[in-house]
């Protein structure tokens, strides 16, 4: 009997930011995982139940931060071909933290940086991650608050 294969591997990304000063947290993946800069990200697991639950779990696992405040669904998703032959679909979220604190990195990452928005956009390795961050920045700018 073979395992069930679903058409999508659902994933989440969390764009973590602070308002004062305005900073965006980026993590650098290990060389074995591509060695690129990105926000917190990971697979949705069956035990998560919802995308926000997956975001909170991934943030805790990859940074040690417990998200107490609300999450913002950026209403943005993108897909890419996975090495397993399935399409991976990422759903983007954002969360504000009180200040830019050092994360406790998991073994998936080698470096971290709290960057101003423009530098974060230039540092992100993947266009889809930049698009999600631009969406956050545009929303916050239109509200007159948050990252600019």
Tell me the Ramachandran region of residue 15: left when phi exceeds 0, alpha when psi lies from -120 to 50, beta otherwise: beta
CATH number where 125 lies: 3.90.79.10
Range of the domain at 131: 8-143
Greater pLDDT, 142 or 56: 56
Predicted TM-score (pTM) of the model is: 0.89
Cβ neighbours of residue 32 under 8 Å, at least 6 residues apart?
Answer: none
On the question of pLDDT at 148 being above 90, the answer is: no
Alpha-carbon span 115 to 74, nearest angstrom: 20
Give residue 1's pLDDT band: very low, low, confident or very high (50, 70, 90).
Answer: very low
Residue 68's pLDDT band, with cuts at 50, 70 and 90, is confident
As for how many domains the chain has, the answer is: 1
Over the stretch 89-140, which tens digit does the pLDDT of each residue have?
999 999 999 999 999 999 999 999 999 999 999 999 999 999 999 999 998 8
- Within a domain: residue 25? yes
């Amino acid at each position: 009997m073979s395992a069930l294969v679903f058409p999508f591997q659902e994933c989440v990304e969390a764009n973590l930011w602070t308002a004062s000063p305005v900073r965006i947290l980026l993590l650098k993946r290990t060389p074995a995982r591509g060695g690129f800069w990105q926000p917190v990200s990971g697979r949705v697991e069956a035990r998560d139940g919802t995308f926000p639950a997956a975001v909170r779990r991934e943030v805790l696992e990859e940074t040690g931060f417990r998200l107490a405040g609300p999450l913002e669904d950026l209403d943005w998703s993108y897909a890419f071909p996975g090495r397993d032959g399935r399409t991976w679909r990422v759903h983007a979220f954002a969360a504000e933290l009180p200040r830019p604190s050092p994360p406790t990195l998991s073994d998936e990452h080698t470096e971290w940086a709290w960057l101003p928005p423009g530098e974060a956009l230039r540092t992100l390795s993947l266009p889809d991650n930049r698009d999600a961050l631009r969406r956050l920045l545009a929303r916050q700018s239109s509200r007159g608050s948050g990252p600019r």
